Structure 1
Amino acid sequence: MAYIDGFVIAVPTANKQAFIDHARHFDTIFLELGALRVIEGWGDDVPDGKLTDFRRAVQATPEETVAFSWVEWPDKATRDAGMKKMMEDPRMDPATPGNPPMPFDGKRMIFGGFEQVVEVKQP
């Protein structure tokens, strides 16, 4: 079964296109390093909760939209090797000339790796 990296971030709503451009640049590196697919989601129906919610989790302001993303890997070993290479790759550094700047506050990003335990899909 696959291994999943998940990310939740708050992005200034005015930076939507910059977020898309940033994702298009960096997500291809995930694929190059072994990921099966990368999904980037822009918040459309993200309700406020009574106890907690996505917006509170990333301390989103009214001027920000929550983005939810995940990277699907064939297994954890491929993910671990790919992420190690990615962290060493100069194309990942927003300070490297030619790389798009980070259009969000990375300090408020929530992320984690998940072992897939169930998959249900159409036949």
Structure 2
Amino acid sequence: MTYVDGFVLLVPKKNMAAYTKMSRVAGKVWKEYGALDYRECVGDDLNVPFGRSFIKLAKPKPGEVVVFSYILYKSRAQRDKVNAKVMKDPRIAKSCDPKNMPFDVKRMSMGGFKTFVSF
């Protein structure tokens, strides 16, 4: 079964252009090294009447948007190989300056997930 790295983060609206630029570089690099899919999704319909909405979960400040992202791989082993190559790629270092990120990294949630149902 496939493997997914998932992310939820908060991006100030004023930084969305910079985040989008960074994401386009990242997506291209991940796909070049073998990721099956790379998606960046901005919250649109988050005030749901049931469960725990992403708004309640992520607690955005005024002026922030919720971003949900994922990267799809063939397996966890393939994910580990792809990520090792990605982290060494100079394009990632150039576009993802840890001192100048367009979002607060400390408020980002992330994790790896085993796929158990797929169509």
Category of TM-score, reference length = shorter chain = 0.7 to 0.9
Query: CA offsets per residue over residues 71-111 of structure 1, 9 Å max, x none?
Result: 01111111011112222333222xx3xx2652111111111
**TM-score of the pair, normalised by structure 1:** 0.81
Query: Between Structure 1 and Structure 2, which shows a larger proportion of helix residues?
Result: 2
Matches within 5 A, 1:58-97: 58-93=58-93, 96=94
| Structure 2, unaligned runs of 5 or more | none
Alpha carbons of structure 1 residues 113 and 49: separation in structure 2 relative to 1, 3 Å: farther
Partners in 2 of 1:14 and 1:117 — Cα distance?
A: 37
Contact 1:48 1:55 in 2 (8 A): no
Q: Runs of 5+ in structure 1 lacking a partner?
A: none
Larger mean CA deviation between 106-115 and 80-89 belongs to 80-89
Cα deviation, residue 18, structure 1: 1.9
CA distance in 2, matches of 1:9, 1:89: 23
CA RMSD of aligned residues (A): 2.1
Q: What is the number of residues matched between the two proteins?
A: 116
Decide whether the 8 Å contact of 1:59 with 1:108 is kept in 2: no
Cα distance change, pair 116–61 in 1 and its aligned pair in 2 (3 A): same
Aligned to 1:22: 22
- Normalised by the length of structure 2, the TM-score is 0.84
